[in-house]
Amino acid sequence: MSIEIDVLNGDASWPRAEPLMQAVWPAHVVEKLSWGHVKWAHADLRVLIDAPEDAAQPGLACHVGIFFRDATWDGRKVHIGGVGGVSTRPDCRGRGYASLALNAAIRTMRDHEAVRFAMLFCEPHNEAFYQARGWQRFLGEVYAEQPEGRVRFEAMAPFVFDFTRKPRDGIIDLCGLPW
């Protein structure tokens, strides 16, 4: 059975993504989490995979948001990619959908030649998932914009996926909202 993977404009595809995102991260749950206060960027692109025909319900099975950003690393401008909002509907987990969608996100970011590396931020219980898929811990400091101004971003652990640069340390400023 073939699996169709769409990579679509982030704003235009939000109505398709929203029900899955709200189901995986309901507002009343998120607001009680340590990162519930964070203001996040909107995805530039979204990888979307629909549920298979034999699923109990139709609709979206998996989502990965893709971000592009002119950031800085140790004060030097660097164009980076980002991944966020990785989620698979509970009844569709363990079928490789998130792995497929992450691979599609990496291919898409690699196609943007100026992207030097990709970043994501995750909670401790998901670190092994990303490490098993080639993401490496970034041990330096990350800064981002929030409504109150520029802040050190420590809500979640930063991970990087190497393209032409391999950042492990130093200071990365996202120069905008985190994802």
Ligand X SMILES: CC(C)(COP(=O)(O)OP(=O)(O)OC[C@H]1O[C@@H](n2cnc3c(N)ncnc32)[C@H](O)[C@@H]1OP(=O)(O)O)[C@@H](O)C(=O)NCCC(=O)NCCS
Site for ligand X, rule CB under 6 A: 24, 62, 86-88, 93-99, 122, 125-126, 128-129
Least separation in angstroms between residue 2's CB and ligand X is: 17
Beta strands in 21-176 (DSSP E): 45-50, 60-73, 76-88, 117-122, 136-137, 141-146, 149-152, 157-162, 171-173
Least separation in angstroms between residue 135's CB and ligand X is: 10
DSSP-assigned beta bridge partners for residue 171: 141
Look at residue 24 and give its three-state secondary structure.
helix
Look at residue 33 and give its three-state secondary structure.
coil
**163 versus 179: smaller Cβ distance to ligand X:** 179
**11 versus 123: smaller Cβ distance to ligand X:** 123
**3 versus 24: smaller Cβ distance to ligand X:** 24
CA distance 147 to 167: 27
**5 versus 75: smaller Cβ distance to ligand X:** 5
Least separation in angstroms between residue 13's CB and ligand X is: 18
- The CA–CA distances, whole Å, from 170 to 51, 68, 76, 139, 175 equal 41, 20, 11, 8, 15
**74 versus 91: smaller Cβ distance to ligand X:** 91
Least separation in angstroms between residue 63's CB and ligand X is: 9
Least separation in angstroms between residue 45's CB and ligand X is: 17
Least separation in angstroms between residue 76's CB and ligand X is: 27
Angle, alpha carbons 63-126-83 (nearest 5°)? 40
CA distance 33 to 123: 11
Tokens of 60: 């979206």
**60 versus 78: smaller Cβ distance to ligand X:** 60
CA distance 38 to 110: 28
